[in-house]
Amino acid sequence: MNESTLRIGVLMPTVLGTYGDTGNAVVLRERARRRGIAAEIVMVDLDDPIPSDLDVYTLGGGEDTAQSLAAAKLRGDKGLRRGVEGGAPLLAICASLQVLGRWYRDAEGRRVAGLELLDVTTDPQGLRSIGELVTEPLVEGLTQKLTGFENHGGGTVLGPDAKPLGRVLIGTGNGVPEGTAAPQERHDGVVQGNVIATYMHGPVLARNPELADLLLRRATNTDLEPLEVPGVEALRRERLASAATPPRE
């Protein structure tokens, strides 16, 4: 941690920030501050160099054109790679999950090179997955169901170096590329090295305080005291109940 202030990066919020994903950084900052840890958000937009010395990075989702701008920026700027390889955790949502992989296929069918921080590839599913997503976490340190909102056309396949974040209970998650066989067990998200990626918007950290604290522990290299934030449990209960209720005809 730099000069004892936790610095939380939000990369390219103008192109990667659908469904309030920028809120993930706000949640990290607030959960740090409420424990007496000084924290600030560093906004890094398309024209700014990406600092390699931030303590934690967040990347949001984005629509197809925005996503290709972000992919080009990340290929041309080594700051994020240096930061993550230097030990900073990175949270990536939806389009960013795809961009951090080996490649993804865009809406026009072109294969776009990714950052190769994740051993994944993404092809169109042939349909959009839209709705609530609930998973059972598969990562040590997470015990509570993960809840979020998904909206994506891509289906992501994990290679051997990538592990899933959760097992899908409701919704699609990583999905299945068109023309390929569905796996027996469906998964959401990717965990590899210092990267945690998911298809969950929400913002996902507002709905899943355990995940926020996992990132904070890694960013601060400290154990954290338990923290109750009023309203979070009620939000979780309401969203999990809503996801379990079949949509009206």
Residues that bind ligand GLN (CB under 6 A): 18, 61-64, 67, 94-95, 151-154
Q: Report the 10 Å Cβ neighbour count for 76.
A: 8
To ligand GLN, the closest distance from the beta carbon of 62 in angstroms equals 5
Instruction: Give the nearer residue to ligand GLN in terms of CB position, either 9 or 148.
Output: 148
Instruction: Give the nearer residue to ligand GLN in terms of CB position, either 9 or 154.
Output: 154
As a whole number of Å, the CA-based R_g of the chain is 17
To ligand GLN, the closest distance from the beta carbon of 177 in angstroms equals 11
Tokens of 48: 């700014």
Catalytic (active site) residue 59: no
Instruction: Give the nearer residue to ligand GLN in terms of CB position, either 20 or 193.
Output: 20
Q: Positive or negative, the Cα torsion across 49, 69, 121, 152?
A: positive
Q: Are 22 and 15 in contact (CB under 8 A)?
A: no
To ligand GLN, the closest distance from the beta carbon of 216 in angstroms equals 24
Tell me how far apart the alpha carbons of residues 190 and 135 are, in angstroms, rounded to a whole number: 13
Active-site hit among 201, 207, 218, 239: 201
Instruction: Give the nearer residue to ligand GLN in terms of CB position, either 62 or 83.
Output: 62
Catalytic (active site) residue 187: no
| 104 sits in which H/E element | strand 103-105
To ligand GLN, the closest distance from the beta carbon of 181 in angstroms equals 20
Active-site hit among 94, 97, 118, 176: 94
29-51: b or e for each residue (b if 16 or more CB lie within 10 Å)? Answer: bbbbeebebebebbebebeeebb
Residue 222 phi, psi (nearest 5)? -135, 160
Q: What residues are labeled active site?
A: 94, 201
